[in-house]
Structure 1
Amino acid sequence: MEAPGCHGDKRLSVEVVPDEESAGIEEIVRIGTRLQDKRAENDASQDGKVLRGVHAKSHGCVRAEFTIREDIAEDLRVGLFACPGKTHEAWIRFSNAAVLREDDLKAGKDGIRQNGSRGMAIKVMDVDGEMLSQDNGGHNQDFLLINTPMFAFANVRDYLRLEKILDRDPLGADPTAYFLPAVLASLGPEVDGEDSAITQKRQFLQDMVARDPLLSGLSAQDLKGTIASAKVAAAIAQKTVRNPMEVQYFGAAPFLFGPGRVMKFSVAPREPVEQEPFDTITSDIPAPDYLQDAVRNTMQGDTILEYDFMVQTRNEGEDGLNIEDATTIWEGELAGYIPVATISVHAPQTPHGAVEAEHCERLAFNPWHSLSAHRPLGGINRLRKPVYFSSASHRGADGY
């Protein structure tokens, strides 16, 4: 395994690295390891086992084929996509983005169960070309996706504040305080004749924020990032997923696409199924592990599920790339994806058998398991490099 910092550090002109970022990343790595240990010790469901720092709960891993489209346009034949018709074996892991193995619809402080962020991680095996870092000695390309087109945190500075807040919680899992400045900002300034309950809530939040050294004195940029995070979290809460194999996922952050170009990528099922909100949600309906059940049931059939792997690209000099703000999307992004490969998942499979589940847990996914042609870009991706290596190493995963 190459050291995390040895390859692929040449910057594009669109990358702007804050002076304090490196120190912030180092601190996040230290806190992340501490949080993994804290959860192993204090979360009874882990039974003392150290898990992934994020995306701890798997809904199952499945074998797949990743085939470059025969009709891929000439200008998209870059890196992994250089050879039309070529097929690679692949693994896909479906997960919750949460840090604990908890209810798929975790209840908030109000007791109401709500949707969370969902993940899809793809490991394309035995790729050709110069690698940024090898995966357990192998040349594998990892793509990590979530079910929203933007991340919940803009940059390293915001994520460090989140990690410090999580570190104050016995389970290392409660982010509530991070969002308080955004809630306070949403109330606006006091106006004549406003409801007394609003006035009291504002004063309560002002007092809480003022007493908290991690929240008081936020810069305008910090507050902007916190408000953006709150908006993404609200969007996630509205996004029902009944079956994680039936929905679209997004890479969210930007990546290199050969010299001077930037890409974003997405994966969508060829036959998407509308994910209607649940008519009834009680304490046990749907079941706490209903997404795992959905994967199990899907893979008991006798069918082939097909997905389009899609990209869209921008030139390095274009306006609006927002490389350093992962809470944003490009103008026209959602309508601009072009299919470049087909992912095929053949059923039946047994993703929850003992051997399969153990293999799934030992896999390590990292966006820096990548060809140089697809180098991750921006602060969140620069953060993911050492954080994911550290998380995988600390839990004894393969291929970190």
Structure 2
Amino acid sequence: MNRDAAPWREDFRGGSREAEDRLFRAMAQAISPRPAARPDAAPVGTDRADRRLFHAKTAVGITDAALMVDRALPAGLVVGHFRPGAILPAAIRFSNASAIPQADGVPDMRGLAMRLAIPAGGPHDFVLANFPTALARNAEQFLALAMAAAGDWETRLARLASRIGLWESRRILAHLKASLKLCPSLAHEHFWSASPYLWGSRPVRFELRPVAGEPPPPILPAPGDNALRIEFASRIARRSVTYRLALQHYCDERRTPIEDAAVDWRPRAARPIEIATLVIPRQDISGREGRWALEQIDRLRFNPWNAPEDFRPLGSLNRLRRFFYAAGDQ
């Protein structure tokens, strides 16, 4: 650990990683109709992800983006393939968060998944959403949410409250109300990791911010099932779309907790540091090649555990998600 870094730790359920793995495998089986596979058996290739627990609909798929690392990258952030001036090929999937494919004009959260092709071989996946925190604080709340969502819609709040209490259930509903919104343009959305990840020896959260100067979005979303794709196609036919990648460092367990994904890491406590630019080049995504790219991206299974050890996900919510991804449900 860096001499100047704040001390941190992960708290494993049952007192050890092995005990927690057994518990989380059982939790994944409680939701998945298929047996939870070993996490190290999760494919990272192009098996069609047609049984996602969330983010069912691919709004836009890009196969030829690039993440351009800043030449002035601070020395403390030089880790693995993140080197000053590095250019990393990237595949991008924009999605609607709903588990059921629906029209883009429906209020919803939006996701951005990014797969980097790294020099050492293999992928490095980033999974983000356009809200700074997660619905569930931890693994137990994620299980309760998934179980409630799978049952009768009219009794979901009562069933959720029976598992996590009325106060936390109301907090989650308030979070949903705030996060389910209309989206005029994906190019103007701000995306966050919402949970921590390792960056070398230090925990971070990361975000992708739209670059200032992007042409303004329409006042209201366009009508139609694929309005986001149509708007993005019109925009990217004229110019590249860019985002800035920024990191926030862990500072202490109260303001930047590892095990509570519902706490916002506020900039006052953890100042975001920009380190790279994501460039989606100008192109035609409405033609034959664009439709081919959409199909290729839709077949990918983005998984935050597809990462070198120096960038592994942290916290119980991420550790449980490892088993859901392994079972092919996300």
Same fold (TM over 0.5): yes
Shift of 1:318: 5.5
Change in Cα spacing, 1:364 to 1:33, as seen in structure 2 (3 Å) is: same
Q: Say which structure, 1 or 2, has more relative contact order (CA 8 Å, 6+ apart).
A: 2
Give ranges in structure 1 of 5+ residues lacking alignment.
Answer: 1-11, 36-48, 107-114, 129-137, 181-208, 396-400
Deviations 1:338-370 (A, max 9, x none): 111111111113267442222112111100111
Distance in 2 between the 1:230 and 1:249 partners? 21
Structure 2 residue 121 is the aligned partner of structure 1 residue 122: no
Change in Cα spacing, 1:292 to 1:322, as seen in structure 2 (3 Å) is: same
Query: Residue 186 of structure 1 corresponds to which residue in structure 2?
Result: none
Query: Residue 55 of structure 1 corresponds to which residue in structure 2?
Result: 55
Whether the 8 Å contact between 1:155 and 1:324 is mirrored in structure 2 is yes
Please list, as runs of the form range in 1=range in 2, the aligned pairs for 1:278-357 lying within 5 A after superposition: 278=220, 286-301=223-238, 303-315=239-251, 319-332=254-267, 336-350=271-285, 353=288, 354-357=291-294
Amino acid at match of 1:97: A
Deviations 1:145-191 (A, max 9, x none): 0001001111111121122223325xxxx5x644x3xxxxxxxxxxx
Please list, as runs of the form range in 1=range in 2, the aligned pairs for 1:78-117 lying within 5 A after superposition: 78-81=79-82, 83-106=83-106, 115-117=107-109
Change in Cα spacing, 1:231 to 1:277, as seen in structure 2 (3 Å) is: farther
Distance in 2 between the 1:391 and 1:318 partners? 32
Larger Rg: 1
Q: Match of 2:143, SS? A: helix
Whether the 8 Å contact between 1:228 and 1:327 is mirrored in structure 2 is no
Amino acid at match of 2:12: V
Query: Residue 168 of structure 2 corresponds to which residue in structure 1?
Result: 225
Whether the 8 Å contact between 2:248 and 2:270 is mirrored in structure 1 is no
Please list, as runs of the form range in 1=range in 2, the aligned pairs for 1:1-400 lying within 5 A after superposition: 13-19=8-14, 22=21, 25-34=24-33, 50-62=50-62, 63-81=64-82, 83-106=83-106, 115-128=107-120, 138-169=121-152, 174=153, 177-178=155-156, 180=157, 209=158, 215-216=161-162, 218=163, 222-237=165-180, 239-259=181-201, 261-271=202-212, 272=214, 278=220, 286-301=223-238, 303-315=239-251, 319-332=254-267, 336-350=271-285, 353=288, 354-391=291-328
Amino acid at match of 2:192: F
Pairwise CA RMSD of aligned residues? 2.8
Shift of 1:372: 1.3
Shift of 1:32: 4.5
Q: Match of 2:276, SS? A: strand
Count residues with an aligned counterpart.
302
Whether the 8 Å contact between 2:256 and 2:263 is mirrored in structure 1 is no
Shift of 1:286: 2.6
Identity among equivalent positions (%) equals 25
Distance in 1 between the 2:23 and 2:182 partners? 34
Whether the 8 Å contact between 1:125 and 1:140 is mirrored in structure 2 is yes
86-95 or 26-35, which deviates more? 26-35
TM-score, scaled relative to structure 1: 0.68
Give ranges in structure 2 of 5+ residues lacking alignment.
Answer: 1-6, 35-48
Change in Cα spacing, 1:229 to 1:22, as seen in structure 2 (3 Å) is: farther
Shift of 1:331: 3.7
Amino acid at match of 1:289: N
Whether the 8 Å contact between 1:249 and 1:268 is mirrored in structure 2 is yes
Amino acid at match of 1:14: R
Query: Residue 41 of structure 2 corresponds to which residue in structure 1?
Result: none
Distance in 1 between the 2:60 and 2:190 partners? 17
